[in-house]
Structure 1
Amino acid sequence: MVQSQEQLKKVRIFLGLLRGDTFVNHCSNQNGLRTIQGLLRLRNPEITCEICNKVLALSSRGTAVVLELMLDQHGRHVFGELIDSLNYQQLKLIIYEITKNLDEFVSLTLVKHGSNSIKRVIRLLRRSPLVSLVTNNLCAAFLTIMTNRTGSFVISECFKQLSAEDNKLLYEAAIESCLDLAIDHEGSLSLIRVFNTIQGLQRYQLLYILSANVAYLSQDQEGSYVVQKLISLNNPLLTQKICHHLRGYYATISLQKGGSHIAEQCLDTEWKSWVVEDFLSSLDTPLNAAKDEFGNYVIQKALKVTKKSGSPLYHKLLLCLQPHLSILESGYGRNVFNLITGR
């Protein structure tokens, strides 16, 4: 404990020896970080100010010490203790330093410890106007960050912690880049997390754009996963729109792994007749799907749902398939053959 001016003087001398790289190195080991954390937990204004000045200085690499701390597995704990200790003006200086260079900021978000440090900043600033400095940078590099697994969770932290108003620009960025996100592996997963938080008019805008482009997305490996998630939202108006926009494409997407799942989902809706009618548009289409690796599951589903509902489309499908039972008896078509013959 620093209980006297003499002890305070010793602490200041100790901190005076830790400059630039020496300070970073000291905080990069467990014993050193505990020492600095202990000093910060005293909440002594003079000591806190001294440490704040240390982290705002440059290392020998020309990088602010604070940035190097944020990237270090031990140093990030010092950073976390520091920002909890600062007054508004000191915190403002730190946030400016973190956000003033977009490239350096983005680099922080894309690696584990830097990402965790930024998420801690977001939690701290959730009721502060300073958070706009962070969200503005996230918007400026939105696509880069959202298509990176580590980075995307920084933006997800904003969606969890911040108000709808503070997230407004981030949601606008998601709407603007939703199609690019949807066809990227990490981006599609990030976009689905947006579904869970976006509300109001912006939610409508996002779902409108995606549903209007389902024919394109359904034929993309990653995009098809997004379409499946859209259907699973169980929004009748949205599902109807998706089923409508896929008319003319069901036979095509049924021959693809992701697309076949979409076609099966659509067969579970009240608009299943649109799917079956697509297959019946050509005499060869049901057979081609029935003997396909993925399409056979769609045909099986179509037969089951139309039979269960008593639809005349069931008999029309049978009329197309029964003349070709000998072809379907082997290979992927055997599943359909067994279903029709009851074997």
Structure 2
Amino acid sequence: MGLPGIQSSSLDTIGGTPLVRLSRVVPDGAADVLVKVEGGNPTGSYKDRMALAMIEGAERRGALRPGQRVVEFTGGSTGSSLAFVCAVKEYPLSIVTSDAFAPEKLRTMRAFGADVTVVPSDGGQITPDLFVRMREEVDRVIEREGAFWTDQFHNVDALTGYAVLGREILQQAGGDGVAVDVFCAGVGTAGMFAGVSAALRESGGPVRAVALEPTSSPMLTAGKAGPHRVEGIATGIVPPLLTPGSYDEGRAIDEAEARRLALPLARQEGIFTGTSGALNVAGALHLAREIGAGHIVVTVAPDTGLKYLTGDLFID
């Protein structure tokens, strides 16, 4: 976001991440696959973009007063990003999360000074009722503390933050004379997917937007939710920010296939990302095989694999 050199704030280091062409995991005869590598953001996640946009949007509207407590329920990356932004801007923060999510994320939130409430999961699985129970705890914090709820599932300021990501893709790909044919990514709040898709379509090209989800929780493709272990996506609802015009199709990707891809991505491409990033690339590879050589598929590696080292994702 800022110019090279000394930044006036660590918030100015958000964004400006690389766009990388995969070379070894893409099969012969397939379209090129470009990955926006977001692990270089300050907390190692693209959610830094959303957190800053939501807080600054609330400040501009006067919805967030100086020193007022902020609250959100989150699987971890949004919480880590909000903790970072609120620490810099001096807002107290309450995060409601769960033991279903990576412990590295919970530790990151606490490291930045957030007050963290952990709601027990059903055997470590991400289920629709888990988000209901987390939301109930948020309501208690709002009533008790008079907190400002960022409400990431409905907050349109998120689209502003993620539109910058989309414009970065256009600038980076366009510098090589590349026209994006397909954009695909997993959907959680859908802020990133909708914001990037809209920005890519502003270029005037016929970009096909494909929303991804795990086959075990096919809400978009089959109208039903289910348990899974892909953090950050498939929350059991069709998110409000995913409006009918924001995507062309939904597609379900096997979670086991995505997990098997995480190590090859790291060892063959140097792309070190979590389960949702691996699922995004798995979806991009499916689409690249379908549309064939001479075309471009773009996706996003949302975060760094450093957030998942205590789990089984990177075990042979």
TM-score where L is the length of structure 2? 0.23
Larger strand share, 1 or 2: 2
Instruction: Name which structure has the greater RCO, CA cutoff 8 Å, separation 6+.
Output: 2
User: Higher Cα Rg: structure 1 or 2?
Assistant: 1
TM norm structure 1: 0.22
